[in-house]
Amino acid sequence: METIKRQGIAVNQLGYRGMDAKIAVIRGEGGNFRIVDASSGSKVWEGEAGPLEWDEASGETVSRGDFTSFRQSGTYRIESGSGESSYPFVIADSVYEEAHRAMLKAFYFFRCGMELEERCAGPWTHGPCHLTPAIVYGDEEKRVDAYGGWHDAGDYGKYVGPGAKAVADLLLAEELYPQAFARPLGIPESGGAMPDVLQECRYELEWMLRMQDGETGGAYHKLTTLRFPPGDTMPEDDTADLYVSPVSATATGCFAAVMAMAARRYRPYDEVFAASCLSAAERAWAWLEAHPDYPGFKNPPTIATGEYGDAQDADERYWAAAELYRTTGEARYHAAIEPLANAAETSGLYELGWANMSGYGTIAYLFAEREKAPELEARLKEGLLRKADELAAVCAKDGYGISLQPEQYIWGSNMLVMNHAMLLLLADRISGGTHYEQHALRHVHYLFGTNTVGMSYVTGYGAAPILFPHHRPSEGDGVEAPIPGLVSGGPNRGLQDDYAREHLAGKAPAASFADVMESYSTNEVAIYWNSPAVFALSRFV
């Protein structure tokens, strides 16, 4: 395994736009620091770092070197008075464009059911996979031909709830920041009138449509084999029997919501597809109404793949009602929103993770150009801005400028980091200001190297990117470099795999990370970790 030396000064290894705030984190010292030209080593700017402060999450004493006022385009390093240095970085207004495109194109590399050809995939090709009809668990005579869609993560499972989150993030990004998606991605569908981001999401949405039970309108929870294959198995070599797990309220609520959302976003490009999405959403809503107290999903006894269990479904129902109301304006959906919001409130109305989708319901209602209940609208807006203020307050105290408390370095902590960036940007949109934008940008800086590990958590980007993600195609394809644009799960204080238990015990929460394939609880990748990162970068490209 290649070892990358951690530098004494952490920076965004991609770089910074000229007018943006720019802050380096200097470990263990304050005092003067300087910017030097990366080629010549000559000093071009000098500043004074802030005071030394203890950072609980990283377990380090750090100071911040603010060089916001330096805006000259070029490639540089930061050096401290004691000779510590940063990795090189660029100052340029286009600094995020290629990483943004790669993180979006990563969804093409997650595609199931088709050959990835060299003309689009470069060296990271593989054959068509998982094309056999799936057995409906508990009804061995029934088959579902649910080919296509995206592999969920480092494995080859496909899950409706996490897929819905990923699509929702991308559709929101396309709605709010269309300029970020103007350039073609180089996917098979590139070149048409429809933006490539919508083409890519459609590939997942069409799979979801196949996951709707034709008899009841409910959505099957997931499609997987009974257990995961070995870590170096390529998709086309994963030939075990496929199973769809039973219908769940969680999946059906997510399905109804994202299909209603899709009906809006695709209508200008394909009215027939948009209408099919809305019809599917309405059938799923009818299932939800007919099953108000459905038990939470648990893995069937012989299925050992990712569960994505959820004990309560008020958040998914709330999201579904809000999206259907935003799309249709029908009073029956509006009437359902407030009771569902009240039911979901105990677990929070501003979360954007697969385990709590309520934040998407709140955003859908606040963004809806429909008649609203004034008290509910005011309550939701006030609550979202209060949540953003709470995140901003954590950012101000955190040594690396992000909004995670030490206990929030969990499995997929980088999803939380980027979800928080997304929420901060949405709060700006709701409030009509830019108060939270710089806090969101610090989360982007963290992802690309301004972190205690000193690595870029995105494959292929930065001077010290992760090299060994827990991702079966990257492990088994014989190509030295991993597929580019994949977002690692990041530090996890829970020590939830054997490698982490052996090598990371005793480390600070933000340092509990290992760039090895074996550490799936810190270094796996997932579609719903990439998607909020794409959203956040869309604001800055």
Going by C-beta distance under 8 Å and a sequence separation of 6 or more, which residues neighbour residue 20?
Answer: 68, 438, 441, 540
For 74, the 3-state DSSP assignment is: strand
Dist. CA 88–CA 79, nearest whole Å: 11
Which spans in 346-503 are helix H? 358-367, 374-397, 413-431, 437-447, 472-476, 498-503
User: Among 173, 169, 162, 210, which residue's Cα sits nearest to residue 195?
Assistant: 173
Marked catalytic residue, from 79, 196, 351, 515 = 515
User: Among 532, 535, 529, 537, which residue's Cα sits nearest to residue 153?
Assistant: 529
For 50, the 3-state DSSP assignment is: coil
Backbone angles phi, psi at 375, to 5 degrees: -65, -40
For 160, the 3-state DSSP assignment is: helix
Dist. CA 99–CA 180, nearest whole Å: 12
The answer to whether residue 515 is catalytic is: yes
Dist. CA 40–CA 100, nearest whole Å: 30
Encoded amino acid at 235, one letter: P
The answer to whether residue 241 is catalytic is: no
Dist. CA 215–CA 208, nearest whole Å: 15
User: Among 312, 494, 486, 505, which residue's Cα sits nearest to residue 413?
Assistant: 494
Marked catalytic residue, from 200, 213, 310, 524 = 524
Backbone angles phi, psi at 126, to 5 degrees: -160, 165
Tokens read off for 401: 């400028």
What single DSSP character describes residue 25? E
Dist. CA 120–CA 390, nearest whole Å: 43
Sheet holding 89-91: strands in order across?
15-16, 89-91, 74-80, 32-37, 43-48
Going by C-beta distance under 8 Å and a sequence separation of 6 or more, which residues neighbour residue 427?
Answer: 384, 385, 387, 388, 435, 436
Question: Is 158:152 a contact under the CB 8 Å cutoff?
Answer: yes
Residue with tokens 């996490």: 162
Could you list the active site residues?
A: 515, 524
